[in-house]
Amino acid sequence: MISKNSKIYIAGHNGMVGSAILRILKKQGYKNLIYENRNNLDLSDQSSTYNFLKKKKPDVVFVASAKVGGIFVNQKNKADFISDNLSIQNNLIIGSFKYNVKKLIFLSSSCAYPKDAPRPLKEKYLFSGKLEETNAPYAVAKLAGMKLCESYNKQYKTDFKTLIPCNLYGENDNFNEESSHFFPALIRKVENFRIGKTKSIKLWGNGKAKRELMHVDDLADAAIFFMKKKLNDDFINIGTGKQYSIIHYAKKICAYLDVKPNFEFDKSKPNGMKTKVLDIKILRKYGWRSKVSLKSGIKRT
């Protein structure tokens, strides 16, 4: 039974997702929170990670540590994206089993779904087809982590569950145009245009690709919600069930920053998946819904 005094380890507490989980756990009154900076603990190093888990003995582990980025950086650093993520998650998941962690929440990604799976994306479509080429190495790592958790559950009756969020945004995001995900990159592009640094807002592809978007505090809220639940499902989509085009999101940011947009489309660049929206029937079955509106989320970000 998880209580306010349970020992909870947040791996990746300085990242966008981890920092949101830490912030909301504190807000909800959890007292025994464990986290460690990267310069003191290298999660890609097995012995260091195992020793840390052995010493701290957490009851719960949130695996929010990962190497992440947008299309450009994924394509440029394919080996790093698969090797770093495999190392981090293997050390945390296997180490959690080894040192008797009661509950583990592994945070995956909607890019783990097959490229041509029907929409909306149902959990049963996982592992059923070819991945989107622009982020396949990252997706393969996430799929491996999901299958690892599921396998421990089946063989050893552990409680290691995977949450699959849609595209996320919010405070502590990466706003670098080249290495970030699409939404923070849009914010940076619109802001650069607003201050006169660029003469147009250049979008990759044709701007018509559709994405589901959720504020990171919603994911953190969901992660803590499911930490306290007994789950029958190994994989659960976390999202809003709604999707809009890239150009729609760009216009929303322009409206908030009071910018009259001048868009330019770089069609030499990939669109990524044409559409990516999650089926949230299982999520709704457990009684969770997102709370942060896009307008409020943009303002906070």
Count of beta carbons in the 10 Å neighbourhood of residue 147: 15
- Measured distance between the N- and C-terminal CA atoms of the chain, rounded to whole angstroms: 35
Q: Would strands 60-63 and 32-34 be described as parallel, antiparallel, or unpaired? A: unpaired
DSSP the chain: ---TTSEEEEETTTSHHHHHHHHHHHHTT--EEE---TTT--TT-HHHHHHHHHHH--SEEEE-------HHHHHHTHHHHHHHHHHHHHHHHHHHHHTT-SEEEEE--GGGS-TT--SSB-GGGTTSSPPPGGGHHHHHHHHHHHHHHHHHHHHH---EEEEEE-EEE-TT----TTTS-HHHHHHHHHHHHHTTS-SSEEEETTS--EE-EEEHHHHHHHHHHHHTS--S-SEEEES-S--EEHHHHHHHHHHHTT----EEEETTS---SSEE-B--HHHHHTT------HHHHHHH-
Annotated catalytic residue 138: yes
- From the candidates 9, 113, 138, 249, which is the catalytic residue? 138
Residues acting as catalytic residues: 138
